[in-house]
Amino acid sequence: HCIDPIKAITNIRQILRPAGRLIIEVPNNAAVGFEKYGIYWPWTDLPRHLNYFTEQSLKKIVSTCGLYISAAKFVGYARQFSPEWISDQSSIWKVIGNGRRPNFCAGAWRLLARTIVAPNYIKYDSVRIHAQL
């Protein structure tokens, strides 16, 4: 939700203790769900999300700010098929949708079939980076 993520991470780096760690988790822009649903994908979270990241782009920003990346993890696969997620998609569509309403429940099954054996970098809805000085 930062206008300037590089400045935000740089500011955090300046106050981080020598053994301190920074953990950043953001929506995964490389996720198939993001590609498939766009603005109806709950993690798009318009208008609060100003920047979108992949694992590679987030690693690059964190490294550029002078931090060492100790781990990169993907999280949030199963929630994309939960009733709450599907309900959120419907709610988003009610506010900003036009045309015929998509069947988000059937779409969840199609997404599951498309991603069940997919690589993690496109399967999971979020990417988390662990970094330190």
Summarised one tens digit per residue, pLDDT across range 42-92 is 999 888 888 999 999 999 999 999 999 999 999 999 999 999 999 999 999
| Band of pLDDT at residue 14, cut at 50, 70 and 90 | very high
Closest Cα to residue 64, out of 18, 13, 121, 15?
Answer: 13
Residue 56 CA to its chain's centroid (Å): 12
pTM beyond 0.85, yes or no: yes
Dig out the tokens for 4 from the structure: 């300037």
Dig out the tokens for 98 from the structure: 């036009």
Q: What are the backbone dihedrals phi and psi of residue 96, each rounded to the nearest 5 degrees, phi first?
A: -120, 0
Query: CA angle at residue 97 from 44 to 78, to 5 degrees?
Result: 40
DSSP string, 51-75: --B-HHHHHHHHHHTT-EEEEEEEE
Dig out the tokens for 14 from the structure: 């300046």
Task: Read off the pLDDT of residues 87-109 as tens digits, 9 standing for 90 and up.
Answer: 999 999 999 988 899 999 999 99
The helix (H) or strand (E) run that includes residue 113 is: helix 104-115
Look at residue 131 and give its three-state secondary structure.
Answer: strand
- In this prediction, residues 98-127 reach a mean pLDDT of 95
